[in-house]
Amino acid sequence: MSWWAIDVRPDPARRDWLGAWLVARTGQAVEERDDGTLVTFAENEREADALIAALAAESVTTLETSRRPLELVDWSTRWREGLGARRIGRLTVVPSWLEASRGPAGPTVVLDPESAFGSGEHGSTRAALALLERHLRPGDRVLDLGSGSGILAIAAVRLGAARAVGIENDAEANPVARRNAARNGVSHAADFVEGEAAVLAPLLGPADLVLSNILRTVNTALLPVVAAALRPGGLAIFSGMESAEAPLFRSPLTAAGFAIRDEVGDAGWWAAAAVHP
C-alpha cells in the first residue's frame, strides 16, 4: 500500500475549521506545521485526490493544496531509529532492546511503539508524562484519549493507577498497545478499546484523571467530553499542542469550566493539567 500526504495551506482565520474538518473526514490526526500548513494522509492516490476535491467543494475560500507519495517504510525496523532510554521524573521509558541497561530503579515502561504514536521521544508525549508523574494519585482511574502505543495508559498503571483505559480510533494501534501492556505486566489493569473518544469517554467514566495528547483543535472540541468523563474535581492533562498555541487553548479551556493547575513545556510543545469542578 502506497500512502500519500496531502498538504493544505489555509487562511489563518480558517485554520482551526480546516483542522477539525480534516480530522472528522479522515478519522486521523493532522500535522500542524510552523508555516501554517496542515498535513493529512490517504491510503492511495485516488483517495488523496478525492479528499482534495471534497475539500475544494466544502471550503468557501480558495486553498493551496498538493499531494505527494510517501516512502514505503518497513516499520518492523524503522521505528527503532533514534530511540533510547528516557528519564521523566521518577519514571523511565526504555525500548525493549535496551531494557537491560535501563538505569536507576523506579517505575519503568518498556515500550516498542512500532507504527503507533508515542515513544517518549516526542516533546508532547514527554510533557504529558511529566504532568502524569506529578499528579497521578495511587488508585486513580484513568482514561487516555488517542492512546496510540499505550505509553500514557501503561505509565499511569506503573505509577500506581488502579485502572487505565485507552481509546483509539486507529485499528492498527490497539494491538501494539496491548502487546506493550503485556510486556510491562499491566494487562490486568490497562485495556484499550477502538472507537471515537467523543462517544466512548463519557460511557467509560467517571475517571479521576483524563489524558488527551491530541491536536489543539481536537482537544478544544473534546472539552465537553472530557468534562463529562471526569468525576467532580477530577484532573485532565491536555497535550499535543505547540507552545505558541497555549494562549489559544487557555481561553476555551477556562470557558469550559477548567482551572489550570500546572503546565509543562518540552522542545517547543506545551501541556497543561487542569481540574474541573
Tell me the residue type at 20.
A
Per-residue pLDDT at 11 exceeds 70: yes
What pLDDT shows up at residue 103? 53
* Closest among 117, 126, 116 to 175, alpha carbons compared: 116
Q: How confident is the model at residue 167 (pLDDT cuts 50, 70, 90)?
A: very high
Domains of the chain: 4-69 (3.30.70), 116-275 (3.40.50.150)
- The position carrying cell 492533562 is 237
Contact 40, 27 (CB under 8 A): no
Residue 209's contacts (CB-CB under 8 Å, 6 or more residues apart) are: 132, 135, 136, 140, 141, 142, 143, 156, 161, 234, 235, 236, 237
Per-residue pLDDT at 254 exceeds 90: yes
Order of strands across the sheet that contains 108-110: 86-88, 91-94, 108-110
Query: Could you tell me the CA-to-CA distances from 194 to 45, 147, 148, 169 in Å, in that order?
Result: 27, 10, 11, 5
Residue 215's contacts (CB-CB under 8 Å, 6 or more residues apart) are: 19, 23, 29, 30, 32, 240, 241
Decide: pTM greater than 0.75.
no
Per-residue pLDDT at 62 exceeds 80: no
* Closest among 252, 275, 271 to 124, alpha carbons compared: 271
Q: Which of 100 and 271 is assigned the larger pLDDT?
A: 271
Tell me the residue type at 104.
P
65-111 pLDDT per residue, tens? 899 888 665 545 554 554 566 778 788 887 776 654 555 566 778 77
Q: How large is the average pLDDT for residues 186-199? A: 94
Q: What percent of the chain has pLDDT over 70?
A: 85
173-191 pLDDT per residue, tens? 899 899 999 999 999 999 9
What pLDDT shows up at residue 79? 45
Q: How confident is the model at residue 143 (pLDDT cuts 50, 70, 90)?
A: very high
